[in-house]
């Protein structure tokens, strides 16, 4: 039970009490935790604004992409290459639904738009045992939405 002191007599009083049991002085209730909720709301809004500013392109960059259909060639597509490589490797697994990839590849080297990737995946084999397989390959985007696998995502 949390106690506070009465302002009139200094006697210990429960925070839930309406008045001091010693002198009868009414206990002022604190305004509550609206301040902490307000701070939390402000933090969430600021985090959202930061995320939005990081993930959105500038107006000039959007115009460059609209006016130039080949503008995607100058973009860094490393995360897309990793996503595509995971898809290529997943398609070769015995149990693709059990595939568990790490968040980042073991290595990712970029040469223009070509991405050489080394990574690993944990998945079930045909006997149901979880095994780790290492793979490597080279991914190259062919258009804004598609990529091709130049070197197979073979075991490393």
Q: Is residue 21 part of a domain?
A: no
Q: Is residue 2 part of a domain?
A: no
Give the total number of structural domains in the chain.
Answer: 2
Which pLDDT does position 131 carry in this prediction?
94
Distances (CA, A) of 88 to 58, 137, 151: 32, 10, 11
Q: Is residue 25 part of a domain?
A: no
Q: Confirm if 103 and 79 have CB atoms less than 8 A apart.
A: no
User: Between the ranges 10-24, 61-75, 86-100, where is the mean pLDDT highest?
Assistant: 86-100
Task: Identify the band that residue 16 occupies on the pLDDT scale cut at 50, 70 and 90.
Answer: confident
Q: pLDDT tens for residues 111-128? A: 877 889 999 999 999 899
Which pLDDT does position 121 carry in this prediction?
95
| Euclidean distance between CA atoms 102 and 43, whole angstroms | 30
pTM of full prediction above 0.85:
no
Which pLDDT does position 99 carry in this prediction?
94
Same domain, 62 and 92: no
Same domain, 97 and 147: yes
Query: For all residues of the chain together, what is the average pLDDT?
Result: 80
Same domain, 95 and 146: yes
Range of the domain at 91: 77-155
Task: Identify the band that residue 156 occupies on the pLDDT scale cut at 50, 70 and 90.
Answer: very low
Same domain, 44 and 111: no
Which one, of 114, 148, 112, 120, lies nearest residue 136 by Cα?
120
- In eight-state DSSP terms, residue 26 is B
Same domain, 104 and 142: yes
Number of C-alpha atoms within 13 angstroms, CB side, residue 56? 9
User: Bridge partners of 4?
Assistant: 13
For residue 154, give every residue at least 6 positions away whose Cβ sits within 8 Å of its Cβ, in sequence order, or none: 135, 136, 137
Which pLDDT does position 5 carry in this prediction?
84
Which pLDDT does position 1 carry in this prediction?
59
């Amino acid at each position: 039970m949390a106690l506070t002191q009465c302002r009139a007599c200094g006697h210990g009083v429960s925070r839930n009490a309406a008045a001091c049991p010693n002198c009868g002085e009414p206990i002022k209730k604190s305004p509550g935790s609206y301040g902490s909720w307000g701070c939390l709301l402000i933090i969430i809004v600021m985090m959202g604004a930061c995320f939005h500013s990081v993930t959105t392109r500038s107006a000039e960059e959007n115009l460059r992409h609209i006016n130039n259909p080949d503008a995607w060639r100058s973009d860094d597509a490393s995360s897309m290459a990793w996503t595509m490589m995971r898809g290529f490797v997943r398609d070769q697994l015995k149990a693709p639904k059990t595939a568990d990839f790490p968040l980042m590849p073991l290595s990712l080297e970029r040469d223009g738009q070509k991405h050489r990737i080394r990574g690993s995946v944990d998945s079930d084999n045909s006997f149901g045992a979880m095994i780790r397989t290492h793979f490597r390959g080279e991914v190259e985007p062919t258009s804004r939405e598609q990529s091709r696998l130049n070197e197979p995502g073979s075991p490393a």
